[in-house]
Amino acid sequence: MPVNMPELTKLKPVSGVRLNSICAGIKRTDRDDVTLFEFIEGTTCAAVFTKNAFCAAPVEIAKQHLTEIMPRFWLINAGNANAGTGENGLLNAKRSCSSVSILGKCEENQVLPFSTGVIGQPLPVEKIESILPDLLHGLKENNWLKAARAIMTTDTVPKGISVEIIINEQKITITGISKGAGMIRPDMATMLAFIATDAKIGSNLLQNCLNKAVEKSFNRITIDGDTSTNDACVLAATGKSVEFNQENIATFQIALEQVCIHLAQSIVRDGEGATKFITVEVLQGKTEQECLNVAYTIAHSPLVKTAFFASDANWGRILAAVGRAGVSNLDLNAVEIYLGDVCIVRNGGCDLDYTEEQGQKVMSQPEILVQICLHRGNAQTQVWTCDFSYDYVKINAEYRT
């Protein structure tokens, strides 16, 4: 079960957005696996995609379409990634867009495709086409929770959030959903995030807002260090509420970052087999990149992550990770490492006041803060990760069965 994650029971509709999900039987026949978002004319859109060189066919098509025109539809399928499928995968992604455009009465490039699931298998586009009429017929503003469930793969729970802010006595809504539990180390911008707002924001400004929000959220999480072929985070602004510009965008930016951080942390809390939610915070580095290198070295270490699963205060594994993070001219005597508020390393070795009982108490908690003070400068950052359990191996060993 997810780590300290409340059940998602309601998401607020966004004016100008309708959506629906339905079962096409792409991998399973007992749950919805195809989702369609429809946006009103004039909607602007921004997106950030995976940097994996073997990016999936839908990623290539979505990126291309976004350079040509603003979308009217997002089409998402679970159960098949349509990645590593060559030219046939591109043709299938285009065909799915074409089928939506015919029924939705728009141009083919006004449809953005997204896929998640098993890599290397042909997309059964005929199954998607067969349910499209019913999918369009059932479009509603309040189907967000249904969509959050339909985009899941190895996720155990749906992930979503709605945030409302008031600007000039007008209410603005931001609602987002995400999926992801394994193959997670976004470098973007198997995670997808779909966010919409009724604010009115130009496409360039919207892209800038999304870039900043992604950098503070989805680009600060890792479950296993694997960047998916299909990562995408997209944001649509329908323009049905307040207009934002460079002068008044700060309030919206804060709310968008709140949404993205919540969605990103939800992915980690529901990491495959996760039993611990871990924040790794690096302080007083020379540069933010230096801090990130240290944080991710710790967060990616199988030895560190398995120690967290065992609630074993094996602080030497954290010390070793810091030492191999590539920090030049690191003053070992200046480094301090904390588990929660317990100092475990100081002056190049175990803190003189540290006891095993103190470390064990922190490691037994479901949420743990690991803090490293480098004492080299003023830069700082944090990343979020989870432990490695037996179930992580089991889930991924049986992923295709």
Domains detected in the chain: 17-269 (3.60.70.12), 277-397 (3.10.20.340)
- Separation CA 401–CA 397 (nearest Å): 9
Q: How far apart are the first and last CA of the chain?
A: 21
pLDDT in tens, 193-246: 999 999 999 999 999 999 999 999 999 998 877 667 788 999 999 999 999 999
pLDDT at 311: 95
Interacting residues of 361 by C-beta distance below 8 A, sequence separation 6+: 342
Buried b (16+ CB within 10 A) or exposed e, 186-206: bebbbbbbbbbbbbbbeeebb
| CA-closest candidate to residue 253, choices 197, 302, 169 | 197
Strand positions, DSSP E, 32-110: 34-39, 44-49, 73-80
CA 61 to the chain's CA centroid = 20
Helix (H, G, I), strand (E, B) or coil at 265: helix
**Whether 136 contacts 36, CB under 8 Å:** yes
- Separation CA 115–CA 79 (nearest Å): 8
Burial class of 350 by CB neighbour count within 10 A (0 to 12, 13 to 18, 19+)? middle
- Separation CA 285–CA 338 (nearest Å): 16
Of residues 50, 175, 190, 222, which has the active-site annotation?
Answer: 190
Taking the CA atoms of residue 7, residue 9, residue 13 and residue 17 in that order, the dihedral angle to the nearest 10 degrees is 70
DSSP tag of 200:
B
Where does residue 181 fall: left (phi above 0), alpha (psi -120 to 50 degrees), or beta otherwise?
Answer: alpha
Tens digits of pLDDT across the chain (401 residues): 799 999 999 999 999 999 999 999 999 899 999 999 999 999 999 999 988 888 999 999 999 999 999 999 999 999 999 999 999 999 999 999 999 999 999 999 999 999 999 899 999 999 999 999 999 999 999 999 999 999 998 899 999 999 999 998 999 999 999 998 766 565 543 589 999 999 999 999 999 999 999 999 999 998 877 667 788 999 999 999 999 999 899 999 999 999 999 999 999 999 888 999 999 999 999 999 999 999 999 999 999 999 999 999 999 999 999 999 999 999 999 999 999 999 999 999 999 999 999 999 999 999 999 999 999 999 999 999 999 998 878 877 876 66
Where does residue 307 fall: left (phi above 0), alpha (psi -120 to 50 degrees), or beta otherwise?
Answer: alpha
pLDDT at 401: 62
Interacting residues of 356 by C-beta distance below 8 A, sequence separation 6+: 313
Helix (H, G, I), strand (E, B) or coil at 56: coil
pLDDT at 180: 86
pLDDT at 100: 98
Global pTM?
0.94
Pairing state between β 111-118 and 159-167: unpaired
**Whether 94 contacts 108, CB under 8 Å:** yes
- Separation CA 401–CA 252 (nearest Å): 44
* C-alpha pair distances (Å), 366 with each of 1, 158, 257, 312: 12, 20, 25, 13
Q: Is 238 assigned a catalytic role?
A: no
Long-range contacts of 118-121 (CB under 8 A, 24+ apart): 118/27, 118/79, 118/80, 118/81, 118/399, 118/400, 119/56, 119/81, 119/83, 119/84, 119/229, 120/81, 120/83, 120/84, 120/85, 121/80, 121/81, 121/85
Give residue for tokens 């989805």.
218
- Separation CA 234–CA 207 (nearest Å): 9
